Amino acid sequence: MFNPTLPVVNHIYNDAGQKQSLDQLLRGPDKDIWTKSASNEFGRIAQGNVQGVTFQDAIDYIPKSAVPEDRDVTYASFVCDYRPLKSDPYRVRLDVGGDKLTYADDAGSPAASLIETKLLINSVISTPGAKFISMDLKYHFLCPQC
């Protein structure tokens, strides 16, 4: 079913071409691999696991009684992937169902517009001695503290 020698960088499919869910993978022939990956993900977003994964402390497991009555509770979905070039090639990632949550404020983040970009590069070329450099942040949305 699963050939790790192929450089597959998509979802996991079985021989019939059907996409496999985490539930199916945890019951399939490679269940040991995916059980370990799922453990790493649950530990990574919480406070670690027995395998010593680096954790983010993004969630707490709580009893139902600790959820305020006036708050929406959403679902979680899982994305399973094989990334041969990564240090952890068998990947399970938990995705929060954002569509079921209410965020009253504007959730967008400010981002430079085209006019601002054009003004900046005009400023660079028109300022004696000025130069331009571009930079890129990695894992911006997975910042460990926010």
Partner 1 sequence: MLNPEYMKINFKYFPSDIIEKYNLNSIVHNGYIYCKIKKGMYGLKQATLLAYNYLVEKLAPHGYRPIPHTIGMWKHDTKPISFCLCVDDFGVKYTNKNDVEHLLAALRQTYKVSTDWEGKIFCGLTFDWNYTKGYVDVSIPGYIPNVLHKFQRSTPKRPHRSSYNIQPHKPFIKGHRQYAPEPDFSLLLDADGTTRVQSIVDSLLYYARAIDGTLLPALNTISASQSKPTQATLQRCHDLLDYVATYPNVFLRYHAGDMVLTIDNDAAYLVATKARSRIAGNFQLNSAKHSNNYVNGAILIECKTLRKVVTSSAEAETAGIFHNAQVALSIRYMLTQLGHPQPPTPLKTDNLMSNNFIHNNIAQRRSKSWDMRY
Segment 54 to 83, residues that bind partner 1, using CB under 8 A:
56-64, 66-67, 71-78
Tell whether residue 125 is a contact of partner 1 (CB under 8 A): yes
- Contact set for partner 1, span 16-55 (CB under 8 A): 22-23, 26, 35-36, 38-39, 42-43, 45-46, 48-51
Q: Give me the phi and psi of 83, to 5 degrees please.
A: -125, 90
Dihedral angle of Cα 50, 57, 59, 143, to the nearest 10 degrees:
-130
Tell whether residue 111 is a contact of partner 1 (CB under 8 A): yes
Please give the Cα distance from 142 to 146 (Å, whole number).
8
The residue (of 6 and 112) whose beta carbon lies closer to partner 1 is: 112
Dihedral angle of Cα 69, 146, 143, 133, to the nearest 10 degrees:
140
Alpha-carbon radius of gyration of the chain: 21
Tell whether residue 85 is a contact of partner 1 (CB under 8 A): no
Shortest distance (Å) from residue 11 CB to partner 1: 15
